[in-house]
Amino acid sequence: MLLAIDIGNTQTALGLYQGLRADHPERTWRLATYKQDAVDDIAIKLRCLVEGAGVDASKVRSAALASVVPALTRSWSQAVHDLGGAPVSVCTAEAAAAAGLFRTDYPNPREIGADRVADAVAARALYGAPVVVVDFGTATNIEVIGADGLFKGGIIAPGVETGASALFAHATRLAAVDLRAPEAVIGTSSAEAMRSGILLGEAARVDGLVERIFDQMGHRAPVVATGGLAPLIAPHARTVTAVMPELTLEGLRRLAEATSAA
């Protein structure tokens, strides 16, 4: 079995696949990311998740990991190895390029976050090129793959929850609200007005940025939304053509498959 792990600043997403060529994960989880976690802490969590799913930990034979938290990359890699001795493929632009999955003319590929690389790998494989990815996480990342299949770059903006937290922290008369779609764009209470501004505002921001991307590219392209908040935001974004919350994990699975075959 394959374990794919996407370590973000706020959440860590995991997918357990039946094998390297499985087209979807058997199980997925989303955990809060704790940057202070030691190897033993992570190992306990992993064993509980995997064995709680009824899987013998020794059956996890390979793993692929993307991390935007450098302090956790080695700890998670060691914890996965300790789980059952599985080798871990760490996603980078260089590793994906060596596996034949990622091409770019980006001036400094080392700057490209591992999650963005994995998104680009999966999006190009599943939706062709050109394609645009919108990843709703701690940051809202937009990745652009051109018609020539090259990763061109993109946009990094504050994420939905990041912006909402700042609003709640600095606006003393506005209490925190749960993030769900408002009934109408014109809010008739403070809570509904905030939901409109936060959720519909994010959708409108994405639409505006994507339209500017299309203008620069000179043509339109499929737009794939991913990340934990994609199902909440994407239905309100007019430019989004597909939603795949586990796109990053799929990119990691493909990296593990290519690395195994190399």
* 221/180 Cα distance (integer angstroms): 28
For the chain, give percent helix, strand, coil, nearest 5. 45, 20, 35
Report whether 39 contacts 20 (CB < 8 A). no
Q: Tell me which long-range contacts 105-113 makes (C-beta under 8 A, separation of at least 24).
A: 105/150, 105/152, 106/151, 106/152, 106/153, 112/151, 113/68, 113/141
- For the chain, what's the residue count? 262
- The residue type found at 109 is P
Count of helices and strands (H, E) across the chain: 9, 10
**Closest listed residue to residue 180, CA positions, set 166, 163, 167, 192:** 192
Which active-site residues does the annotation give? 115
How far is residue 93's CA from residue 127's CA, in Å, rounded to a whole number?
Answer: 20
